[in-house]
Chains A and B, each alone.
Chain A
Amino acid sequence: MRVPLRVFRARPGQSAHRDLFVVEVPEAAYVLDAVELAWAHLDRSLMFRHACHHGSCGSCAVRIQGREKLPCITLVKDVWHGKGELRIDPLSNFPLVGDLVVDVGGLFDRLSASEMAITHAVGPGMAPAGERPEGMEQLTRFQTCIECGICVSACPTMATNPHFFGPAALAAVHSARIDDGDPERGRRLLHVVDTEHGIWRCHGAWECSEVCPQGNEPAWRIMDLRRAALGSMARGG
């Protein structure tokens, strides 16, 4: 099928515009396939990120038809139905580097401050005993969050407040606290986010959980942190 891609273009010092790329893709193509074809055959100056191509690195995150998604796992036919154009824009709420590439440095700074480990142990309830290979007491898996920044792009507070810790990093603090189980570290991490521009700037729009491609549910994690903070406050902590 012939798909008209309407792609956001911008460079430092130049005004933004949107280019139209018409590409021929198979029925089962993903949006990233279409973008790559546009780059390969039509305009080699198009800037975009891509790596794993299977939804686990978070590099390619963009807005497709105005909604945040990972284009490597989004089928073209799920977002474009033959009429009109397929709009592709960079993520919101990040400084723009060029075209579809944004500067995610601020996100990674916050994730570092959250002390989230990249893997965590799988608890007994998470893999039935029958599935576990013999002799293997502990399973480890990667964290749910793939640090794609999609939640940050969708967050209305992030849209106007550059100081906000943000849904990804707050969710990371939550993960770090529950995975570790060390009360001292838990208290310290709560201390980091129990601030005016930490958990208290969230107003429960729930859009982060809505758009997260991995089901990490940042919104409930933030509210859970608030519960913990209120509890600590009540106990005089």
Chain B
Amino acid sequence: MAHSAYSPRRQVWKWFNPLGRGLGMWAYVLNRVTGLALVLYLYLHLAVLSLLSHGPSSWDGFISLARSRAFLALDVILIAAVLIHGLNGKRVTLLGLGIGMRVQKQLFLALMAIALLGVVVTATKIYGWW
């Protein structure tokens, strides 16, 4: 990890380094990254929904784009972010209330396994294989 001695600038990205760290740190970084990504998505989603105010032709035009395979792939990534953030969020809530502290690592692994399962199930549904 590079050190710049005596640099007066605060390194705002210093939290973003889970390499070589414990599972709790990975959970923290994942939660933060997915959270920020989902905030961006929220505004993207609202922007897309504004097409509804322009009437059926604009909206239905977007819908045909939304059916493309590339777009559906983005949907799978979105679901992954939602599941990772949501499930890990449950863990953060529990830990913050003092519950499950002895098993925080196992809890993280179990929840991420569920998230993975969720992503696989959703992907099969989205791509119509199910």
Residues of A within 8 A of B (CB): 8, 10, 12-16, 63, 65-67, 89-90, 92, 96, 154, 156-157, 159-160, 162, 203-207, 209-210, 219-220, 223-224, 226-227, 230
Contacts and interface: CB of A to CB of B under 8 A. Distances in A.
A227 to B, nearest CB: 4
5 contacts: A63-B1, A96-B5, A162-B10, A223-B95, A230-B97
A66 B1 contact: yes
Interface of B: 1, 3-6, 10-12, 14-15, 17, 19-25, 27-29, 31-32, 92, 95-98, 101, 104-105
A206 B104 contact: yes
Nearest to A208: B24
- For A156, A162, A207, A226, which residue has the most chain B Cβ atoms within 10 angstroms? A156
B109 to A, nearest CB: 13
B28 A156 contact: yes
Contacts of A223: 95-98, 101
Contacts of B6: 10, 12-13, 96
Nearest to B98: A227
B98 A8 contact: no
Contacts of B17: 156
Nearest to A220: B101
Contacts of A157: 15
A56 to B, nearest CB: 24
A203 B3 contact: no
A47 to B, nearest CB: 12
Q: Among the interface residues A89, A90, A159, A226, which one has the most CB atoms of the partner chain B within 10 A?
A: A159
Contacts of A63: 1
A224 B96 CA distance: 8
B28 A203 contact: yes
A160 B15 contact: yes
